[in-house]
Structure 1
């Protein structure tokens, strides 16, 4: 037998990639990837909910594939949901990493536990949220028949910080919030301080929060950190921070929050398990 091979791009059913250009600078190009549930599961006329996922270069494919797989096996007990991943339009991992502190943090502050450089600065989460609300969402929702009244936002690490900040301070336009291992240490734990991060008026919000069990200190992390890094991160306890943030949310009206510590998981491994649980919490339906 003669074997013949050819190569081509891997495609996700129902997915489209857009490039958005918002200016003339190198940081004014965005990659917006949209995965829409199969037509047979959407219903003829009803628009579907949409989840906007930060750090799309890390999270989009995983989230979209999990959502499609859950839908296929749900026996009608999981709502179709479109997943939209948002990233800078580059494949350069250094540029992707160094853009994150600028786009995903709500205040101008030192990177702190991020332990990385911030050549593009910090504190432009408000501009990023405006880009999603005013430019990205209207386009993809019109193009793909998505429901603007049922938007969600999701993120991991600094993206989780962005999601939690939007939940507390800028929730308008979103109904669902999914934050995994959020960097709540940012700016001396800004979001844990009721004097510096006050709750905005809101409609009802449905929230899923998660952190890995092993994120309570650098000594339990994988990969194993050098001694100097462990020392620099010695005061970091993302499990305790999430517990404190959860209690803050539960004291508020109109916020329905589920918060979990995922057994056996750490920062590098927690997203797939947590986003699976989060999608189930936010989009499941009762059996008929």
Structure 2
């Protein structure tokens, strides 16, 4: 009997520890003010775009006298992110902004937030079809298409390419891959895919796959990545190998790193998914929902193509924001 009660006690301690850990995963916060409390649950702060967006949200919140934002790191884990959503509900936040790791895994927890009467916003990528929730996002199909349209003209005949995917079930990952299939591969049947793997938006994972592909192939003409972080990882592997001078590489996000790679002629193009524009729209949306000006908002930001022709404009954007010194 004592052993049974000891086991129960240990289980209870584990639950308390997990919930306490959720509170401890707070990464940053805007200035605490009297007014509305917003929990921003980031997909993974180790992801360069997710970190950019989280920082932009905190900076944008400082412009609002009635809103303070606490940022929590989902660490690319569905279990962690879902626990953070539940913790935010328990802690009676006025609004919860969710950047999903896997939209379908987070769906029931976003629905719990709505059911609890908490303003719920999904972003990057939105979780569609949640009654009572709002969203701020970009169109991932178009983000990939502007790159694919360029690649149709640039990638040489009979080229060998590698493809780096985001996490399956993620709306942006799935739609960008769908776009590349329809807008590039369907139009260029001469192109051979010699490597295709899920690298989960992660630079290190992309590097590992690229190392394997370089060893297995006599040449690789292009890297087709569903985000900049993975494209940058693949390019890191071949940066000192003259055999890969002129390799083409495509991404999405328009991160500071990608813009610098494009400026240096190492990366071909990306499409901007401006964290600054998303953050501005997220705080404006939060304010309108919290103050009762609007009951539901669903909006998309633009996704212009960035190449060597216009990259200076976007490097200047990052410099003004302090992302490039």
TM range (shorter): 0.3 to 0.5
Q: Looking at CA atoms only, which structure, 1 or 2, has the larger radius of gyration?
A: 2
Instruction: Give the TM-score, by structure 2 length.
Output: 0.38
Could you tell me the TM-score, scaled by structure 1's length?
0.41
Q: Higher helix share goes to which structure?
A: 2
